[in-house]
Structure 1
Amino acid sequence: MDTTSDTTTDAVSDAARDKPTSEPALGPGTANDPLVRDPLWYKDAVIYQVHVRSFFDANNDGYGDFEGLRQKLPYLEELGVNTLWLLPFYESPLRDDGYDIADYLKVLPVHGNLDDFKAFLDEAHARGMRVITELVLNHTSDQHPWFQEARQPGSKKRDWYVWSDTAEKYKDVRIIFTDTEHSNWTWDPVAGAYYWHRFFSHQPDLNWDNPEVERALHEVLFYWLDMGVDGLRLDAVPYLYEREGTSGENLPETLDAIKRLRAAIEERYGPGRILLAEANQWPEDTLPYFGDPESGDGVQMAFNFPLMPRMYLALRRESRQPIVEMLRLTDGIPESAQWALFLRNHDELTLEMVTDEERDFMYNEYAADRQFRINLGIRRRLAPLLGGERRRIELMNALMLSLKGSPIIYYGDEIGMGDNTFLGDRNGVRTPMQWSADRNGGFSRAPFHQLFLPPINEGPYSYGFVNVEEAQRSAHSLYGFMQRILRLRNQHAKTFGRGSLEVLEVENERVFAFLRHYEGETILVVANLSRYAQAASLPLQRYAGAVPIELFSQAPFPAITDGAGGYPLTLSPHGFFWFVLKEPGEETGEAAPEEEPFERPLQTLKTSGGLETVLVDTMVQGDAKARLERALPDFLGAQRWFGSKEKAIARTKLVDAVRLQADPPIYLTLVRVEFEDGSLERYFLPLTLKTGEAARALLDAHGRAAVAWLSGPSGRALLHDATADEGFWLALYRAAQRSWRGRSLQGLYSAGATPGVRLPEVEHATPAEVEQSNSSASYEGKVFGKLYRKLEDERNPELELLSYLTRAEFPFVPQLQGEVRFRRGELHFTLGVFQSFIPGGEDAWRYALEESARFFGRTAEATPPEGELPTTFADPAPAWLEDAAGESLQLASLLGVRTAELHAVLARAEGAAMAPEAVTGDDLRALASRVRRNAEETLAQLEAQGTALDRTVLEAKLAALEALAEQEERLTWQQIRIHGDYHLGQVVRAESELYILDFEGEPIRPLQERRKRDSALRDVAGMLRSLEYAGLMAQRTHAQETGAAQEATAPWTELLIRWSEAVFLEAYFSTAGEGASFLPSDLEARDLLLWAYQLDKVLYEVRYELGSRPDWVWLPLKGLARLLGASTAETGAS
């Protein structure tokens, strides 16, 4: 049935009927546009979202109106916003705050009429402001004339909506408003059929498969754009079409319809009118709304729904990783497109685009009281959501205003308005704007009972305390802050709105730092997500010489150096900085003064040539190489990766060198260290040179990397460890990309990618700030590089294990991507590896400490229950503990699962170096002997200090272990290749998943020993010890921070640790399953071995703490005492 003429007549007649009496602000063209039309204006927009009826009542009828909004435009201009987004103001029964539209072309009478709207629009444009309105494409009100006509039998408009004789169609489509709706179908007795609705039952969905519907909505859109509106927010856009067997969201037909809409607009108006999509979807489902990745022929803007809740997640967890993860996932939109950033979805903190675990965490942290929860979100205004804490409110606004996208400010948030959850639905966050302390908060002169909603008139957010008039009196108010930061944002609008974003890799996870670049301007943003002051060193070496100018104060900070230690900053709790980086002298217009050269007491090596004359034997001139070798012992003694500081060095020898890069020169060298006791070790030492200011900066920032001064024909240069330099890491990486091979006098060096792997392109490398037994750097969050400093003639276990696990496609470890090695005949050294970077990784050790701290905070006022410790690991955790320590228990459970899965994969390995081996009695006797020897040494040390422990359990258990070794029939399991140094610090959390790192084993053990098969229970024991360490350290920190007696939290600590261990073991053994080849089927043998490996580990911990941190020996002593007095029940035996 062809009803095109009816549709056109309806739209045109409606438009003619309600057309404003004066001429429209803008016609179909742009000739009379009062604004200079930049097609990309939305990229520079600071958007203010406002309910017309909530803002200001000019005619005192109790409802805000367009005349009131027009009168308040000077306030908005002064605040610093340049774009207004108006929530629905169309004729509506207001059962869904105006999103249930009864007439697309009419203004709700309480807001005024179309002449009032036009007067507002004209003045907004005259003040340089853009205006975005709403267009609900998906549905109408059931009061809309279209639907009322469609209900009638034989109606021409029946096919304008989606009808069915059954409610069984589209069963795969989810219900959005689960609080109120039980089906997406509702029976209509007039129509004698069911109609489809994705939202409330009073909002029937339009049938976009009917071309007449699409044409009618195009006419609606043209009507408002003809009047001069600058853009339209497309509400509920993912749900336009229905298809059986699909989720009914983000269908290809929907994306095509959006492209047709965009094309129709550009054909009629040219570029510059925008579409803003409300697609509350995961990144991979939102990105297609922008259209073609190159041309961007879809919407120009879309809300970044996944990013917003992760800003709150990052704030509460005090870790930047949730934000960094989502920035990565939402990158790569078309050049002409832009994200819309916001701190709540206009009236709620929506939690649809988070995982179930994250949603539970957010509910617990931000809406513990269930009255604040609505559907899958939290109905709170910004200020009360953040506990009224000014620092946190400022920080969240600063992040929103500086991240990549156009920010949206919800009306009233600029003064810190509160909410009234007793009003029901979302009305509690839509209360009248608070202008003054006068009656009704200055919103209206109407009687209180006549107001559409009551203003906040009680508590700390009452209009008597929080109002515009009061805020404007003080430059130190939140309003004053918002005004200043918006002014700065507008001054640098191009950089913040259009510039690229580069996240800086800072060692301190609580510090979030990033750079914004645009056309020669670089802005540095640094934010402290912690409630405590934090220090950080920023990897800004490539900006050496630049001066950071703090934007709020315009104060210059110390110039950046190229030192390997990075640029140091200290941030106040929840503090932040915005800097613009200026070249020396640029900040004052004067030349930067020269500084005196910086000197260190280093040897000077004189040479008649370059670096090669010092390093390569055949080209040595004079005694420079010999003098370098004499300087190396002092250098080595200062390096953490040098493992034999306690041994006296007899001599060092630079045994080999090969050039990696000519300019600046970079050499890979091998150093042999001979000790007085006759032993020797080999080390890998990359070397390079720095001159002038760069040399001085390196000495300042990372003096231990300096080896000696080199003096020659070209002047003076600093010879230093190249791993402190970004240039070295890039040179090594590019060598691997081109499969580099370099032959030296002693052998062949090579760097290359793993077969089948193509290393991605990178421009920057960030050397790790913390020294370890190896040296490492990350490459733009794509690749992680690691160099092994101590060399042994064995295949490195990390290379071996990662190579196998990569081939086995085990997803929870980094994937091996490349190798650096040296080979001479049978001699083979693994110099380093490249592996995939785990994006957004959060240290599981730190996470465990943070969650333990939260547990102590939640139980601070409670009395610990008695008799609720687990008797076996199979006991279910009590419900109260699931609430109080849910995240800790979830971590322990997932650790158990992933550990068992890792062991299962390793148990399937093949080949001489990897295949499992049957356990023997000799293996158990060796274990018993080692534990006995370590126990004797450790207990003797403790007794010498006055601490004596009973040895009865020790002797009984070791005797049982030795007896087990003699019972061959019970030795039915296999020993496998294991992690070997397994603890929370070797695990990272990313995207709610756990990844296991660092397979090189314990650095203090020889490589040959690290490569041996061992019991999987050794890894299990290591993680059990780590869980106890985390709980006890968190207990101590809690006591120090709160002043609480440590003894008072001891029962809670015991509950947390024992249940975490039980949950970990239950998950591990359940995942491994009965009959796992790598575990004893004999439960008594299993628990005896687990005890032995735990004891071996805790004995080492006691010796370590006695030697390094005597004040901390109490911590492993608790574990030692428990293991030496433990019953079999406590270790999980049944």
Structure 2
Amino acid sequence: MDPLWYKDAVIYQLHVRSFFDANDDGYGDFEGLRQKLPYLEALGVNTLWLMPFFQSPLRDDGYDIADYYQILPVHGTLEDFRRFLDEAHARGMRVIIELVLNHTSIDHPWFQEARKPGSPLRDFYVWSDTPDKYKGVRVIFQDFEPSNWTFDPVAGAYYWHRFYHHQPDLNWDNPEVERAMHQVMFFWADMGVDGFRLDAIPYLYEREGTSCENLPETIEAVKRLRKALEERYGPGKVLLAEANMWPEETLPYFGEGDGVHMAYNFPLMPRLFLALRREDRGPIEAMLQETEGIPETAQWALFLRNHDELTLEKVTEEEREFLWEVYAPDPRYRINLGIRRRLMPLLGGDKRRFELLHALLFTLKGSPILYYGDEIGMGDNPFLGDRNGVRTPMQWSADRNAGFSRAPYHRLFLPPVSEGPYSYHFVNVEAQQENPHSLLNFVRRLLGIRNRYAKVLGRGSLRLLPVENRRILAYEREYQGERVLVAANLSRYSQAFDLPLEGEVGLVPVELFSQSPFPPVEGRYRLALGPHGFILFTLRPKAEVERLYLPDWVATEEEVEAPQDLPVVSLSGGVEGLFIDTLADERARASFLSALGRVLGERSWLALRPERVELKDALRLQKAPPLYLTLLRLEGEEGSLEAFLPVALRPEGEGPGLFARVRGGGYLFELSQDPGFYDLLLRRLAQGFEGRSLRAHYRGRHPGPVPEALELLRPGLAAGEGVWLQVGLVQDGGLDRTERLLPRLDLPWVLKPVGGLYRARGQERRALALTGTLPSPRPQDAFAYALRLAGEGLARLQDHPVGEGALGLVAHALGELEALARLLGVRLALLHRALGEAEGEGEGVPLLNRGLEAFVEAGGEVFLLALGREGRGLPLQDLARLAYDLERALYLAAEEREGAEAWVDLAADFLEAALLQAYQEVNQGEVQAVGFPQAMLALAQEQALWKEGSGRKRVLERWRRKAGDQEVQ
């Protein structure tokens, strides 16, 4: 176990009795909490802080403990607690509980015994014959208590209490008290608890003439507590100090790394709210600088709100008056020296300010704490008295009692918020889980980022950036070379600013929510943010960011072999002996076709693995170095097909497609993946191409522009500025049908061919290549586009567990890919309709047959570029082909991202549902989704036979599972 785990912690604070009631008695319990652990795991928290659950009269929310060793019966039993703790640990969550060292309840047996004259436990508490001792010590709960002393008639003396009169302070000058509290700590630590929150720790000792706070004796007692803990358990269990003090008073609690492990950053919290309303980063920067200098192993705990109130003790009087005026103008919401409001009402329901504050909470230096219900924006009830208004039941659903309990309403420990904009009818987990734009899913996404960069944000350094615009707070977090950059707009208006990033020149900011790269840093970096906007970047080397999401045909291409390992073709004459029948060198041709067949068996774009290759025709396209257009017949177990393939002989043995060495000099290449071939072919077509082989006549033309270079989008498809060129590597009749039908389709997203290369033999005429124009200079293959979108979407999901409400995260993370799926569904339906009109109705609907390969993306638009071979079939077959490609893109993208594969099944179901729904909305009733699993399984089996690959294999496994599940049902 990492002893510094608390630095990476995301802590969720909750009341057991407020969370979920499993036995319907009106109080939350440990069994209910255990049942809700999947929700907390899916939320992204990894540490639970449980507020007091011990035996108590509950006069102070359980902080008035009557028995440290017993659980309040309404919460369950010790066995219930152990069961909860074991499951939390099994889910990778740690548990911190309260250790109330300063005081007990007046109902505690210790105090009841101490009241008796001559009792041996008398010295467990602080007594006085007069209330005049420790004069000048402040009263903390000044709204409720007039003094720190209360007279007890049984004892005939005054007892000391820093909080309520029913909470007498323990006497830490008595060694027996310290030993007793160590035993309490050992009891719960033996059970497996991971840490303790040291409640009200500054007030353990009293000395005349002092404030009775933060005394040296208290600091030494804290160090002894840690020593005792580590001597018994070793490192790994944590002490978290609740020391609501100024920075210089809190720092001693850390010691030299031998005090508490963590302490709340009370001075920073109110200054986040102060900076937000003043629209100036000054209060935050000042307190960040004041709280620097803690030991390397120590950590601040950050929070926006906690169970008590937005405490304003550690601000100046002027700051307090300002905060009261802007955040609690209604005196009902003020209590002691704070504000008793939940976070969302405190912010006036402003979602942008809510999101901004959470972005700061999760990225500033320290471990963040979430108060239960704040993740959904729960409200409060000021009429409940004291601070109970912010301790109401968790709002799970719009069902009775907010889904918290099935008990009668009058038996609930507190009523849920049931009126106004924060009523559980509107604000609840169920309503927000599947809504990708809800507060809950925003917090989940932000926690995903926090957990992905846990080391950087939990342990890294923080460097404030001196931005001239004071409404902008910007800082850089860095840990072991990894950087996260944060910029936040504290203003309610849009702001422009320059980030001083001169030291980061050459790095590329990648926005963390979208995973989108921004322009590289070249010096001062100009940005703009909307009202209360923020942006999170990771800074990465340019070469790393520019690594493309490799298309399937590139990812599966074999490593280039060393020349000495290549097959050898013994050619006695010129290269014509390989291609021209009248000049054929039969031995050399046989070696050439054997070597070519071997390399073609490794090409993902080919629909079979050839066992025999026959040369049917060849035409020389270029004399030096020799380049021939070949027409091949390929035969394998799956059947036979014709392929049109460019082959070249070159003097150097480097480049894509190398497959054989020619004895006497030179190397043979197949050029399906060589952009230079597509450049050459387009130029020749633009010049007006005509040629003759022994068997056929070839003609070609391209009336459009000729760019300087073409980019290979996939084998058989290249594009440049305003131009596309597709070559029919597999002769299935698709290009002939494309040339004939696309000009007849009156659809604006259809790219009609304007030129091409044709082979004629008698009455037979076949299209070998087609060209056309593009509206955008930067197209990409639609499968590569889907692969990129899948990669970006899964990157947003990879750090989230697949749990409750996962569909809401999927909908947000894969929004672009969902939009593509829906667009394809609509366009496929329109295409089927248009092809039926153009070709006439027959049995079924004309097949697209090429999946995503039929489309190209350009400038954000998706265009149809190709049709499949002649044939008619069912719409489900075309839908299955598109769904198959989308699913395979998910699996391939998941291979590059640890933790993303768990999301693929859910993401695939989501996209396939979107595709089918969009198709059916256009062609209502024309698709029976019942047969979809069978169509997918048949296609997956066919594709797996054609080409091995992890993506194809995983799709087949998935649909075998789904088909099996359907049979079971």
- 1:466 counterpart = 2:427: yes
Q: Which letter maps to 2:364?
A: L
SS in 2 for 1:183: coil
Q: Contact (CA 8 Å) 2:455, 2:479: kept in 1 or not? A: yes
| SS state at 1:589 partner | coil
1:193-237: CA deviations, max 9, x gaps? 110011110000000000000000000000000000000000000
2:203 counterpart (211, 214, 239) = 239
Alignment partner of 1:339 is 2:303: no
Task: Say if 1:52 and 1:65, in contact at 8 Å, map to a contact too.
Answer: yes
What is the letter of the counterpart of residue 35 of structure 2? Answer: Q
Give a deviation string over 1:728-765, Cα, whole Å, max 9, x none.
Answer: xxxxxxxxxxxxxxxxxxxxxxxxxxxxxxxxxxxxxx
**Correspondence 1:604-615 to 2 at 5 A:** none
Shift of 1:173: 1.1
**Corresponding residue for residue 495 of structure 1:** 456
Q: How many Å apart are 1:180 and its aligned residue? A: 1.0
Describe how 1:478-489 pairs up with structure 2 within 5 A: 478-489=439-450
- Asked whether 1:575 is paired with 2:536, we answer no
Contact 2:55–2:68 at 8 Å: present in 1 too?
yes
TM-score by length of 1: 0.48
Using the TM superposition, give the Cα deviation of residue 301 of structure 1 relative to its aligned residue in structure 2, in angstroms.
0.1
2:56 corresponds to which residue? 92
Does residue 456 of structure 1 match 2:440?
A: no
The Cα shift of 1:587 comes to: 1.3
- Tell me if the contact between 1:45 and 1:82 (Cα under 8 Å) persists in the aligned partners: yes
Report the equivalent of 1:1070.
none
**Is 1:172 matched with 2:136?**
yes
Q: Decide which of 470, 487, 495 is 1:509's aligned counterpart.
A: 470
Matches within 5 A, 1:927-1006: none
Letter in 1 for 2:391: R
Letter in 2 for 1:173: V
> For residues 571 and 347 of structure 1, what CA distance do their matches in structure 2 show?
34
Tell me the amino acid that sits aligned with residue 512 of structure 1. L
Quote the residue 2:278 is aligned against.
317
State the distance in 2 between where 1:386 and 1:450 align.
32
Is 1:586 aligned with 2:544? yes
Note if contact 2:507-2:520 (Cα within 8 Å) is conserved in structure 1. yes
In 2: Cα distance, 1:559 partner to 1:590 partner: 16
Q: Please list the CA deviations of residues 132-175 of structure 1 after superposition, one character each: whole Å capped at 9, or x if unmatched.
A: 00011000000000000000011000001000111110002111
Counterpart residue identity of residue 118, structure 2: G
- Indicate conservation of the 8 Å contact 1:290/1:297, yes or no: yes
**Secondary structure, aligned partner of 2:517:** coil
In 2, are the aligned partners of 1:64 and 1:111 still within 8 Å (CA)?
yes
Q: Which amino acid aligns with 1:523?
A: V
* Counterpart among 42, 46, 49 of residue 82 in structure 1: 46
Identity %: 73
Query: Which residue pairs with 2:288 in the alignment?
Result: 327
Residue among 80, 87, 90 paired with 1:116? 80
Q: Structure 1 stretches (4+) deviating beyond 3 angstroms?
A: none
2:749 match: none
Q: Is the 8 A contact 2:124 2:170 kept in 1?
A: yes
Q: Tell me the CA shift for residue 590 of structure 1.
A: 6.3
**Separation in 1, partners of 2:541, 2:525:** 16
Equivalent residue for 2:193, pick from 229, 247, 255? 229
What amino acid maps onto 1:579 in structure 2? F
Q: Which residue identity lines up with residue 526 of structure 2 in the other structure?
A: P
Q: Tell me the residue number matched to 2:517.
A: 556
Q: 1:920-959 CA distances to partner (integer Å, 9 max, x unpaired)?
A: xxxxxxxxxxxxxxxxxxxxxxxxxxxxxxxxxxxxxxxx
Equivalent residue number for residue 526 of structure 1? 487
Q: Distance in 2 between matches of 1:272 and 1:378?
A: 35
Q: Distance in 2 between matches of 1:525 and 1:318?
A: 17
Residue 245 (structure 2) aligned to one of 278, 281, 306: 281
1:349 aligns with 2:310: yes
Give the residue type in structure 2 aligned to 1:191.
A
Note if contact 1:40-1:272 (Cα within 8 Å) is conserved in structure 2.
Answer: yes
Deviation track 1:508-563 (CA, whole Å, cap 9, x = no partner) reads 0000000000011011000000000000101000101111000000111111113x
The answer on 1:143 being equivalent to 2:104 is no
Equivalence for 2:387: 426
| Matched residue SS, 1:121 | helix
- Is 1:477 equivalent to 2:434 in the alignment? no
Name the structure 2 match of 1:50.
Answer: 14
State the 1:493 CA deviation: 0.3
**Residue type at the aligned position of 1:127:** R
Unpaired stretches in structure 1, ≥5 consecutive residues: 1-36, 592-1134
Do structure 1's residue 373 and structure 2's residue 334 form an aligned pair? yes
2:262 corresponds, among 280, 301, 305, to 301
**Aligned amino acid, residue 552 of structure 1:** F
Cα distance in 1, alignment partners of residues 125 and 378 from structure 2: 40
Task: Say whether residues 1:435 and 2:396 are aligned partners.
Answer: yes
Match in the other structure for 2:230: 266
Number of matched residues?
549
Task: Name the SS for the 2:361 alignment partner.
Answer: helix
Aligned to 1:696: none
The 5 A counterparts of 1:618-1017 are none
Q: Give me the whole-angstrom Cα distance separating, in 2, the residues matched to 1:398 and 1:122.
A: 32
Q: Within 2, Cα distance between the matches of 1:341 and 1:588?
A: 36
* Mapped partners of 2:541, 2:548: distance in 1: 11
Query: SS where residue 106 of structure 1 aligns?
Result: strand
Structure 2 match to 1:743: none
The residue type paired with residue 181 of structure 1 is: E
> Which of 161, 180, 195 is the matching residue for 2:125?
161
Cα deviation for residue 347 of structure 1 reads 3.4
Aligned equivalent of 1:250, options 204, 210, 214: 214
Q: What one-letter code is carried by the residue in structure 2 that aligns with 1:150?
A: A
- Aligned-CA RMSD value: 0.8
Distance 1:497 1:347 in 2: 25
SS in 2 for 1:586: helix
Work out whether residues 57 and 444 of structure 1, in 8 Å CA contact, stay in contact via their aligned partners in 2. Answer: yes
Q: Secondary structure at the match of 2:374?
A: coil
- Contact kept, 8 Å, 1:347 with 1:381, in 2: the verdict is no
Name the residue aligned to 2:174: 210
Structure 2 CA distance, aligned partners of 1:221 and 1:517? 36
Q: Secondary structure at the match of 1:585?
A: helix
The equivalent of 1:386 in structure 2 is 347
**Matched-pair contact (CA < 8 Å) for 1:274–1:300:** yes
Q: Give the Cα separation in 2 of the matches to 1:490 and 1:516.
A: 14
* Partner SS, residue 414 of structure 1: helix
**1:584, distance to aligned residue in structure 2 (A):** 1.2
Take 2:312 and 2:333, find their aligned partners in 1: how far apart are those partners? 13
Give me the whole-angstrom Cα distance separating, in 2, the residues matched to 1:247 and 1:121.
39
Cα distance in 1, alignment partners of residues 182 and 218 from structure 2: 15
Q: Distance in 1 between matches of 2:309 and 2:515?
A: 36
Q: Per-residue displacement from partner, 1:554-587 (whole Å, max 9, x unpaired)?
A: 111111113xxx2100001000011000111211
Q: Secondary structure at the match of 1:523?
A: strand
Determine if the alignment matches structure 1 residue 64 to structure 2 residue 22: no
Larger Rg belongs to: 2
1:964 corresponding residue in structure 2: none
State the secondary structure of the residue aligned to 2:300: strand
Report if the CA contact (8 A) 2:41-2:91 is conserved: yes
Corresponding letter in the other structure for 2:533:
G
Contact 1:320-1:529 within 8 A present in 2 as well: yes
TM-fit CA distance, 1:588: 2.9
AA aligned to 1:195 is Y
Instruction: Give the whole-Å Cα distance in 2 for the aligned partners of 1:80 and 1:142.
Output: 39
Deviations 1:578-613 (A, max 9, x none): 10001112113269xxxxxxxxxxxxxxxxxxxxxx
Q: Which residue of 1 aligns with 2:770?
A: none
Q: Is contact 2:299-2:367 (8 Å) kept? A: yes
Tell me which amino acid in the other structure corresponds to 2:508.
V
Deviations 1:370-401 (Å, cap 9, x if unpaired)?
00001000010110000000000000011000
Q: Deviations over 1:827-851 (max 9, x none)?
A: xxxxxxxxxxxxxxxxxxxxxxxxx
